[in-house]
Amino acid sequence: MDTKTLCLGVLTHGDASGYEIKKAFEDGPFGHIQEIGFGSIYPALAQLLKDNLVTVTQYTQEGRPDKKVYSLTATGRLFLLDALDEPTEPDKVRSDFLFRMMFAHLLSPSALEAMIDERMAVLTEAIAGLEQRANSGFAPASETFIDGYALAIYRAMADYIEENRYQLVSASLLPQRAVAE
Amino acid sequence: MDTKTLCLGVLTHGDASGYEIKKAFEDGPFGHIQEIGFGSIYPALAQLLKDNLVTVTQYTQEGRPDKKVYSLTATGRLFLLDALDEPTEPDKVRSDFLFRMMFAHLLSPSALEAMIDERMAVLTEAIAGLEQRANSGFAPASETFIDGYALAIYRAMADYIEENRYQLVSASLLPQRAVAE
DNA sequence: GTGATATATATCGTTACGATATATTATAAT
DNA sequence: ATTATAATATATCGTAACGATATATATCAC
């Protein structure tokens, strides 16, 4: 799923600027699907415009910079529908945290504990945020489903780490063979 | 965590070729951390060699292509240790599946069911593989921890989808407003 | 008042990704 | 028996994405 298709997806929820599309992938309804940066969004929007999959209207704002609001065209909508019909790619994960845990035996116990504590803090905060959102107002079925999915995963992560962290910490307390050899 | 550091990480487990490094990120101990392709690995190894973080020995094999086996240098090991000491980046996820679930209301019920069934099949297979590996032999604490972590997440995903899929399917049965408007 | 956060777009160099090419052997299927 | 596929092994190349940076203003907290 490339950035262009991702942008088209957000635009089905209503017209938006590049900045607003980014926000949708941060805290908004697309927040747990993936992250995208401005360096991907603006070139993608320029390309979509060239291909007539979106149109743009420029709004002059007082105080703030001009806003370019993009709208989906009929062709754009069909393009998205076609993309949705293609085979689903497997999920892609990259966990800097897990990579570090792979080298628990090379870390000092205190450094390791600090990493795990930091990770737990991030998870606890994410869980609290999702719980709050779940109890506040109405959302479309898809958003409720995805928020619940993310919540279930974060809880599973936090529970697992809390119950098994001692395994890594004891490995860290052993003589650091890999460094010594 | 860039590809170069990822490669150095694998090499702490012993000398390896580019091909073997890729395998380590497929089924091996690094399997649940992230994916990397040859297009990333070979240029990374060339760069590491240039920077004297690894050395290479070429083995002429009968039948098979020549094998270039890379070894970590002392400098390379220090480089990895320094990288491990830097702030941990947040996990990055990109889920083509969740993106599609966001548009459940635009899909036909049968297409949606097929996507969910396919996803469940992938998860069930991953869970079975991890359960088998958990009951077969001894592994370092870090690998046991990471496999258990992955297993906990896959189970949480499968359980959640099985219990909440009806929410999406009923949304799909409603008139497709977005297309009709 | 000073620094941080939010709004808003854009570019640019480096990285990474995905597809493809090449070559051989072992195994599986028809 | 023959054909196809998977596995072993390296490498490149065009495209896509990422991360940092630049620019500009307003609000908000300390």
Which residue among B80, B95, B159 sits closest to A33, beta carbon to beta carbon? B95
pLDDT score, position A174: 66
Question: Minimal Cα–Cα distance from A153 to chain B, Å?
Answer: 6
For the stretch A10-55, pLDDT in tens is 999 999 999 999 999 998 889 999 999 999 999 999 999 999 999 9
Question: Minimal Cα–Cα distance from A9 to chain B, Å?
Answer: 8
Predicted confidence band of residue B66 (pLDDT cuts 50, 70, 90)? confident
Chain A contact probe: residue of B93, B120, B154 with most A CBs at under 10 A: B93
**Residue B92 bridge partners (DSSP):** A94
Q: What is the mean pLDDT of residues A112-118?
A: 95
Q: What is the mean pLDDT of residues B139-145?
A: 93
Chain C: bases < 7 Å from a protein Cβ: 7-13, 15-20, 22-26
pLDDT score, position A173: 75
CB A71 within 8 A of CB A57: yes
Judged by CB atoms closer than 8 Å, whether chains meet at A99 and B159 is answered as no
Judged by CB atoms closer than 8 Å, whether chains meet at B142 and A105 is answered as yes
Dist CA B80 CA B171 (whole Å): 49
pLDDT higher than threshold 60 for residue B47: yes
Chain A window 32-51: which residues touch B at a Cβ cutoff of 8 Å? 32-35
Q: Label residue B39 exposed, middle or buried (CB < 10 Å: 0-12, 13-18, 19+).
A: exposed
Give the chain A residue whose CA is nearest to the CA of B102.
A142
Dist CA A130 CA B60 (whole Å): 56
Predicted confidence band of residue A56 (pLDDT cuts 50, 70, 90)? very high
Q: What is the mean pLDDT of residues A125-149?
A: 91
Q: What is the mean pLDDT of chain A?
A: 91
Distance set, CA A13 to CA A169, B1, B30, B167, B169 (Å): 46, 34, 38, 19, 20
pLDDT score, position B181: 45
Dist CA B84 CA B5 (whole Å): 9
For residue B82, which amino acid is it? D
pLDDT score, position A179: 47
Judged by CB atoms closer than 8 Å, whether chains meet at B104 and A29 is answered as no
Q: What is the mean pLDDT of residues B114-124?
A: 95
CATH fold of B3-85 = Arc Repressor Mutant, subunit A (1.10.10)
Domain ranges within chain B, ordered by starting residue = 3-85, 96-180
Predicted confidence band of residue A121 (pLDDT cuts 50, 70, 90)? very high
Dist CA B99 CA A65 (whole Å): 31
pLDDT higher than threshold 90 for residue A65: no
Q: What is the mean pLDDT of residues B61-65?
A: 65
For residue B111, which amino acid is it? A
Judged by CB atoms closer than 8 Å, whether chains meet at A141 and B9 is answered as no
Is ipTM strictly over 0.85?
Answer: yes
Which residues, including other chains, have CB under 8 Å from residue B33's CB and lie 6 or more apart? Answer: A93, A94, A95, A98, A99, A102, B25, B146
For the stretch B164-174, pLDDT in tens is 999 998 877 76
pLDDT score, position B159: 98
CA angle B142–B4–B27, rounded 5-degree value: 45
Q: Render A51-80 in DSSP notation, one character per residue.
A: TTSEEEEEE--SSSPPEEEEEE-HHHHHHH
Q: What is the mean pLDDT of residues B18-31?
A: 94
pLDDT score, position B138: 86
pLDDT score, position B180: 42
Q: Phi/psi of residue B161, each to 5°?
A: -60, -45
**Is residue B114 less than 8 Å (CB to CB) from chain A?**
no
Nucleotide nearest to A42 (CA to C1'): C10
Dist CA B179 CA B8 (whole Å): 50
Q: Phi/psi of residue A176, each to 5°?
A: -80, 80
Closest CA relative to residue B100, chosen from B87, B88, B89, B114? B114
pLDDT higher than threshold 80 for residue A61: no
